[in-house]
């Protein structure tokens, strides 16, 4: 009986030490990168998905260019089924012409400048019946820093074509990209494909990061890595949720990322005669059904 008691005490002590190490590593990582310009308060009335295992996270990439809050340059929803370990990514074209609550019809990327993250959430919910529980906002400078910190040797990408943006020239083919090069690759839209090609490259970048994070993050390094990542972004994702999902990716337990672009094929047309300029008019019902099928199949 004494041996059993002694064993339990040793096990409890080990758990306390491990938890202490994880907490210390997480805080150490966060303190090394935390964003000193974090807003004191962000209004966000997140809504849980119908299935408690599902996490829906709004991801906004912003280039404020010196303004307090510009339009969202990229807009995605990351979905993760914690029971099936299936990550999915929905990209929404920035010129999608939707009804922004309180403002009327406009490009969806205007919602962020009009009313911040909460208005983007409402816009997605009202137009596509898409419940969002959490958010992540990252500006481009912090994206570059995050990539360079997490991937000091670069992220491997098979560039689909030669590209030139903001003085960064990218040659077609497989290569390692640092944070700035990766950002320019994901942002490029000055060709015949416009936003459609840009969204495809953004999804390629997100998938590459998710797949290659296992190469730079062991289980023992996970808390510090997660802390560093948290320091670069504005988010309401709980720390324990970050660590839990991060552990799945670090241990290679997740399925490959599936992606969807909105609007889907056959559900949209260009319109150059609106007060918002050139927009993508879309069938919201058709896209709502496509999103629901994508997330539940």
User: Does position 127 have pLDDT exceeding 90, yes or no?
Assistant: yes
Helix (H, G, I), strand (E, B), or coil: what is residue 47?
Answer: coil
Please give the residue that has the higher pLDDT: either 193 or 92: 92
Q: Give the integer Cα–Cα distance in Å for 241 and 229.
A: 13
| Predicted pLDDT at 33 | 52
| Predicted pLDDT at 229 | 63
Q: Give the integer Cα–Cα distance in Å for 205 and 151.
A: 13
Convert the pLDDT of each residue in 10-50 to its tens digit. Answer: 333 333 333 343 344 444 444 445 554 444 467 899 999 98
Q: Which residues share a beta bridge with 135?
A: 58
Convert the pLDDT of each residue in 203-245 to its tens digit. Answer: 898 888 888 876 765 455 555 565 566 667 788 988 788 878 8
Whole-angstrom CA distances from 192 to 91, 152, 184, 243 are 19, 33, 17, 41
| pTM of the complete model | 0.81
173-177 and 234-235 strand pairing? unpaired
Please report where in the chains the tokens 């004494």 appear, as a residue: 2
- Peptide bond before 229: cis, by omega within 30 degrees of 0? no
| Predicted pLDDT at 220 | 52
| Predicted pLDDT at 178 | 93
């Amino acid at each position: 009986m004494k041996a059993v008691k002694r064993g339990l005490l040793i096990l409890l002590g080990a758990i306390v030490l491990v938890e202490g190490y994880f907490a210390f590593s997480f805080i150490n990582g966060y303190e090394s990168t935390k964003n000193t310009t974090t807003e004191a308060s962000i209004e966000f009335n997140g809504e849980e998905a119908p299935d408690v295992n599902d996490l829906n996270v709004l991801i906004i990439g912003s280039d404020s260019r010196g303004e307090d809050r510009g339009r969202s340059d990229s807009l995605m929803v990351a979905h993760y089924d914690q029971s099936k370990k299936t990550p999915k990514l929905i990209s929404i074209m920035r010129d999608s012409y939707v009804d922004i609550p309180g403002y009327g019809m406009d490009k969806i990327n205007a919602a962020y400048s009009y009313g911040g993250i909460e208005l983007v959430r409402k816009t997605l919910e009202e137009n596509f019946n898409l419940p969002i529980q959490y958010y992540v906002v990252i500006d481009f400078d912090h994206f570059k820093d995050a990539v360079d910190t997490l991937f000091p040797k670069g992220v491997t990408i098979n560039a689909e074509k030669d590209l030139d943006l903001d003085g960064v020239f990218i040659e077609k083919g497989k290569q390692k990209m640092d944070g700035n090069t990766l950002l320019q690759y994901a942002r490029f839209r000055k060709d015949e494909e416009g936003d459609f090609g840009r969204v495809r490259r953004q999804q390629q970048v997100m998938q590459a990061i998710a797949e290659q994070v296992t190469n730079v993050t062991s289980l023992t390094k996970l808390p510090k890595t997660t802390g560093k990542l948290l320091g670069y972004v504005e988010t309401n994702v709980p720390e324990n949720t970050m660590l839990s999902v991060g552990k799945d990716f670090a241990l290679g337990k997740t399925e490959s990322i599936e992606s969807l672009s909105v609007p889907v094929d056959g559900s949209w047309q260009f319109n150059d005669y609106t007060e918002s300029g050139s927009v993508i008019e879309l069938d919201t019902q058709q896209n709502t059904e496509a999103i629901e099928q994508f997330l539940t199949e």
